[in-house]
Chain A
């Protein structure tokens, strides 16, 4: 199980989600993807995406400066 990082800072909806999807081939079952994003809709979008695709959103938190960190378990 590995933790992999994905930088989505500066990307606007729906680009962060698209970037997550494009990264899927690099993920194996059990891996955790840590995403950083500053799109305002990212927290709700990543939750909706995880709900629809059956991925586990471990957390999504505000980093305090308008950016967010989220972890998804595959």
Chain B
């Protein structure tokens, strides 16, 4: 199957929902999926924030179920380490299962992607 890389450059519904929806669709179709969360997107992955977005977007698919789906399908979520200093946050403030990396690692991991998206 293919490889899909998705960057998330904001922490609002308009950034997170399309990224997660496309990512879970790709993973469900057998693709390897990698997300890279840039500093502007980091607040969305602070504990409790995704639940807030889910409530805000009640007419959209359940975000928490899609996150569980991503976990089941072994999608990877990488977060840019620069975001911690920008937002005054620590790794333990984030939900579980996130890989903290630098952009170089993401670029290396994303090599050979068949599709790339940015939200």
Contacts and interface: CB of A to CB of B under 8 A. Distances in A.
A18 B73 CA distance: 9
Interface residues of A, number: 15
Contacts of A18: 24, 28, 65-66, 69
Nearest to A53: B30
A14 B62 CA distance: 10
Main secondary structure of the interface of A (DSSP, over half): helix
A21 B73 contact: yes
A14 B60 contact: no
B25 A17 contact: yes
Contact of A14 (B28, B30, B72): B28
B1 interface: yes
Interface in B26-71: 28-30, 60-62, 65-66, 69
Interface of B: 1, 21, 24-25, 28-30, 60-62, 65-66, 69, 72-73
